[in-house]
Structure 1
Amino acid sequence: MNESIVQAILLAFALVVILMPTFLRILRRLGFGKRIRLDGPQSHLVKEGTPTMGGLLMLIVVGGSALILELLSGDFLDGSTFAPLATLGLVGALGAADDYLNARTGDGIRVRQKLLWQAAVAGYVAFQIQQTYAIDVLLVPFLGPVEIAPVVYVAFAAFAIIATSNGVNLTDGLDGLAGGTLIFAFVGFMIIAAVNSPSQPNLAVLCALIIGALLGFLWFNAHPAQVIMGDTGSLSLGATLAVVSLITGQILL
């Protein structure tokens, strides 16, 4: 298990670091530069034109690595990894569409439309988690397990996914902030998933892939940032973080 986690981190890190320079050239050629509002902080004006949608490469690396692991082992996509990967892809598609429209027109997807898409994905994923693990209790710090009706759990879980997704999105304004905080969060849940092994060994490896990709991304996102994560990365990784916390049973941490 420990060896698999280290290998996953190194693999994702190496792929992002190697592929990012070429990816940045493609983004610049396609005109995917950050648009900064003139009424915002003056310090942010220097970010004008910085390639955005950098989170797309992380999603490709994590998803591609997971697919390779599935082809090699035949059992990587299980109940603990399918929901996070589905969330990563579905919310990532929303973020990519928003980044694309923002780069092309200066206006992204409307807030109401974003929330509707997030709610649909979050509701489906929350329902699947509840059904897969037959969850009828919520682990509350200092109180222990508290009984909860399945429908209430699904509603709470969906809200947590949406809130975490948008919360991480708000931290994406400063160089390295979103990526750095996500690394610490995923490290914590990776350890929890590893301790829960053998029930969730693949979830720990998936967290390791995400951590490695984030470390590689930070190589280019540290001040002064050469690339911005964009909604593609922040919305999807935030939602995925919430899903991982739900599967480990530690959503209230």
Structure 2
Amino acid sequence: MLYHLFDYFDQALDLPGAGVFRYISFRAGMAALFSLLITITFGKTIIQWIRKQQIGETVRDLGLEGQKEKKGTPTMGGLMMIAGILVPTLLFANVYNIYIILLLVSVIWLGFIGFLDDYIKVFRKNKEGLAGRFKIIGQIGIGIIVGGTLFFHEDVVVREFQNPVSIEEGIVETPAFKDVKVAKTTIPFMKNNELNYENLLGFLGDAMTPVLFILLVIFIVTAVSNGANITDGIDGLAAGTSAIIGLTIGIFAYISGNAIFSQYLNVMFIPNAGEMVIFCSAFVGACVGFLWYNAYPAQVFMGDTGSLMLGGVIAVLSFTLRKELLIPVLCGIFVIENVSVVLQVSYFKYTRKKYGEGRRIFLMSPLHHHYQKKGIPEPKIVTRFWIVGILLAIITLATLKLR
């Protein structure tokens, strides 16, 4: 909202200095700063309120070192993260931008689903929380909203240049272009790397293409959201990993929303995508600010209020930037955590049916608990997972040139 206020000051009143709000880099920096201040400054107050309400984590005895000490630690700290994302985005981003609207709806929608789950666990004393079918229904709902908007909304376009952008002697040539309403995505590590969903699925008929696209959005949003939820098992793991992913997506958003950089790197140019840099900055700031209290030993847990929201928003960001096929690489930590659970459960059921007793691949799933069972200290596990996350982020960025 400050963006619109200062835009008025600049355009109507010609107020000196008001024009700085036109720069994405300035607003992104301010969004990150405000996000950090909100989560760190008000975090302590929120934690004290949560503790006063006796909103403590109920810990199942899994035989893990240091597990019992976590019992009663305040949870639902994801509320801090949601505030750290929403407030700076509303202040510094163009709230009429379709991508910003979509992301704000995703944060609130998924945060509310997680909040209901935590509320039932804490206040109703039901360890199962919100029934799985209701979580799935909620995730399907946001998937339909996101998929339908990206496929049908008139402002969601790709800009195709008729002549190349060039820079000579400091003068930027203004290119001719046309905006195309098309459902495209980017194929990593390929030279001609744009895939048109309508061409791919066209043989099924025009009516089926949007349906299958929306189903794909639902699947990926649900998978990444649950992957982040599973990853949130030890102090600082989910928040730190999400910050690394958010920063990487922010770089892609800046490139995709800039005509010169996108042309130079042969990246799909998406008009108005640059506004998502402000959102990504607030997202990263909220994750890092939350780590102030969530780093080992944690003073607060994010709960499903935070974890379901983080994964789902990352998936939505990937779709808005046409980078959903990079999710297996960029979100590799979430993927391997998810896969470790699926493999463990499937193998246990298979061996129980075949041999009469269930056998395990890992000492415990998800994967971070396997390393805990091996006696590796929790902070070391988290740090090593962060390092792997950084490596995956570098590989993801390398797809800009490696084709």
The separation in 2 between residues aligned to 1:240 and 1:180, in whole angstroms, is 15
Match of 2:183 among 128, 133, 136: 136
Match of 1:224 among 297, 305, 308: 297
Match of 2:126 among 106, 119, 122: 106
Deviation at 1:39, TM superposition (A): 4.1
The separation in 1 between residues aligned to 2:279 and 2:63, in whole angstroms, is 37
Using the aligned pairs only, state the percent identity. Answer: 31
Match of 1:162 among 219, 222, 236: 222
TM-score, with length taken from structure 2: 0.59
Larger Rg: 2
The separation in 2 between residues aligned to 1:60 and 1:85, in whole angstroms, is 11
The separation in 2 between residues aligned to 1:42 and 1:5, in whole angstroms, is 40
The separation in 2 between residues aligned to 1:89 and 1:58, in whole angstroms, is 11
Paired position in structure 2 for 1:150:
210
Show structure 2 runs of 5+ residues with no match: 1-23, 157-180, 198-208, 259-270, 327-403
Deviation at 1:185, TM superposition (A): 0.4
The separation in 1 between residues aligned to 2:42 and 2:182, in whole angstroms, is 40
Aligned length: 249
Show structure 1 runs of 5+ residues with no match: none
Deviation at 1:135, TM superposition (A): 4.0
Q: Quick check: 1:35–1:106 contact (8 Å CA) kept in 2?
A: no
TM-score, with length taken from structure 1: 0.93
Deviation at 1:42, TM superposition (A): 4.8
2:253 partner amino acid = A
The separation in 2 between residues aligned to 1:5 and 1:25, in whole angstroms, is 30
Change (3 A) 1:211 1:47: same
Post-superposition CA distance 1:120-149 (Å, at most 9, x none): 121222211222324433322234122323
Post-superposition CA distance 1:202-234 (Å, at most 9, x none): 101001011111111001110000010110011
The separation in 2 between residues aligned to 1:234 and 1:101, in whole angstroms, is 16
Paired position in structure 2 for 1:87:
106
Q: Does 1:54 align with 2:83?
A: no
2:27 partner amino acid = S
Paired position in structure 1 for 2:351:
none
Deviation at 1:61, TM superposition (A): 2.6
Paired position in structure 1 for 2:88:
65
Paired position in structure 2 for 1:173:
233
Deviation at 1:32, TM superposition (A): 0.7
Higher deviation after alignment, 215-224 or 101-110: 101-110
Post-superposition CA distance 1:7-51 (Å, at most 9, x none): 211111011110011100100011110001124635322211010
Match of 1:127 among 122, 125, 148: 148
Change (3 A) 1:67 1:137: closer
Q: Quick check: 1:83–1:129 contact (8 Å CA) kept in 2?
A: no
Deviation at 1:157, TM superposition (A): 1.3
Higher deviation after alignment, 26-35 or 41-50: 41-50
Q: CA RMSD in A?
A: 1.5
Paired position in structure 1 for 2:344:
none
Matches within 5 A, 1:29-48: 29-39=52-62, 41-48=64-71
Q: Quick check: 1:183–1:214 contact (8 Å CA) kept in 2?
A: yes
Deviation at 1:178, TM superposition (A): 0.2
- Name which structure has the greater RCO, CA cutoff 8 Å, separation 6+: 1
Deviation at 1:95, TM superposition (A): 0.4
Higher deviation after alignment, 115-124 or 205-214: 115-124
Give the structure with the higher percent helix.
1
The separation in 1 between residues aligned to 2:230 and 2:34, in whole angstroms, is 29
The separation in 2 between residues aligned to 1:150 and 1:139, in whole angstroms, is 18
Q: Quick check: 1:85–1:240 contact (8 Å CA) kept in 2?
A: no
Q: What SS class does the counterpart of residue 324 from structure 2 fall into?
A: coil
Higher deviation after alignment, 99-108 or 187-196: 99-108
1:188 partner amino acid = T
Q: Quick check: 2:89–2:278 contact (8 Å CA) kept in 1?
A: no
The separation in 2 between residues aligned to 1:223 and 1:45, in whole angstroms, is 14
